[in-house]
Structure 1
C-alpha cells in the first residue's frame, strides 16, 4: 500500500498539449497568404517592373534627390526640409523595429541588395513606410506642391498633371507597397504595418516634428 501511495505522489501529470499562440497563428496565416499571392502573380507581372518600383522607393535614391534639390534651391525648402526630417525619423524607427523584432524575410526572397545589417529582417517594410510617408506629406502639402510644379514647368495650375499629381503619388505609394509582396521581399503584414507607420510618420511630421516648430525652439 505504501509503495502504491509513493507511486501516486511521485508520478507527474501528463504534459499538456502545446497550444499555438494567437501571434503564431497570425504569422503562419500571413506567411501562407503572402506565398499564395507571390506564387500566383510572380509569373504574370514582369520582374523589371517590380524592380523599377523597388528602386523608386529606395532610400539610396531618395536621400540624394532631396539633398540635391535643397542645394539647388529651386523648390520649396520648407517641404524638402520636412521630407528630410521625416525620412531620418523613418530610417531610425524602421531600423529599431527590425532590430528588436527580427522577423526573417520570406525564404523565396532572392537577389536582394542589403544596405544595412537590419535589412536581413523583414518586419516592418521600410519601402512601404517610406513611400507612405512621402504620399502623406504630399497630401498635407498639396497646395505648395502644386505651386512648385507650376513654377518649375510650363503647366498651369489647372493642368491635369498638376491637379492630380498628389493622387499619382498616392497611387505610386500603394503600388510600390504591394510590389514588395509580389517581389517576395516581404510578407503582407510587413507591408501593412509599414504603410501604417508611414502615414503616422507623415502626420507626426506635419503636426509636431517639422522644421517650423523645431526652428522656433531655437529662436
Structure 2
C-alpha cells in the first residue's frame, strides 16, 4: 500500500496518487476552516486555558494511563465480575494499540504542519503519524465498552458524562491541531469496529479469572 503524507515535507508525498492527494488537500483545507470557525465562535478555545483543558483531555485518553489503571485494577479488584471487565478492557486496549499502530505504519501521514510536537504527551514511534487518530478510536471504544458491554445498567448521568468525554476528546484532537478531520473520522470508525470486535472476542468469566490470577501472580481467593 502506498503511504501518504500531508501537512509536512515528507518525500513520500511525491508518491501519493493524484486522486488521493486531492482528498488529502481538501481535508487539510476543511480542517483549517473548521478550527478557524470554532476559534472565532468560541475564543476561549484558542486561549491558554482552553489549550490546557484540551491537553488534559489528551492525557485522560492516552494509552499509558489506561493500561496502568487497568493493570492496577487487576491487582486490587478481584471479584469474578470485576475480573471479566478488567481482562476484556485490557484486551480491547491491546487491540486498539495494535490496529492503530498497524494503520499508521502503513499510511504514515504527517500530522498537521501547525502541530507542536514538543507539546505532545509521550509520543513515540509510529504515534508521530496522524492517520488514524488513536485518541479518537480509544475514546469511542472505551465509551461504548463501558456503556454497552461492561456496565449496561449504567445510570443516564454517567452515560452522558462518559459519552460527552469521548466526544470532547475526539473534537479536541482537531482543535489542538494534532489531527485532520479525516484522521479523527477514521479513528471514530475504528473505535466502533473495535467495539464490535470486543463483543465477538469477549472472554468469559472463568478464563478471565485464570488470566487475572496469572497477571497479578496472586493465589488469594476471590472476594466474591
Common fold: TM-score over 0.5: yes
Gaps (5+ residues) in structure 2?
Answer: 1-16, 211-224
Instruction: Give the Cα–Cα distance (whole angstroms) in 1 for the partners of residues 206 and 100 of structure 2.
Output: 22
Counterpart of 1:211 in structure 2 is 203
- State the match for 1:185 in structure 2: 178
**Paired residues for 1:80-99 under 5 Å:** 80-99=86-105
Q: In the alignment, is residue 122 of structure 1 matched against residue 130 of structure 2?
A: yes
Shift of 1:169: 0.9
**Match status 1:102 vs 2:108:** yes
Give the deviation of 1:80 after TM superposition: 1.6
Match of 2:21 in 1: 24
Equivalent residues, number: 182
| Residue 143 of structure 1: how far off its partner (Å) | 4.1
**Secondary structure, counterpart of 1:211 in structure 2:** coil
Q: Could you say which structure has the larger radius of gyration?
A: 1
- Going from structure 1 to structure 2, the CA distance change for 1:213 and 1:96 (only over 3 Å counts) comes to farther
What are the residue-to-residue correspondences of 1:148-187 with 2, within 5 Å? 162-187=155-180
**RMSD (Å) for aligned C-alpha atoms:** 2.3
Give me the whole-angstrom Cα distance separating, in 1, the residues matched to 2:100 and 2:112.
18
Alignment partners' CA distance in 1, 2:134 and 2:44? 25
* 2-structure distance, mates of 1:48, 1:205: 33
Match of 1:3 in 2: none
2:191 aligned with 1:194: no
Q: What is the aligned counterpart of 2:33 among 15, 22, 36?
A: 36
**Deviation string, structure 1 residues 167-196 (Cα, Å, up to 9, x no partner):** 321111111101000000000000011011
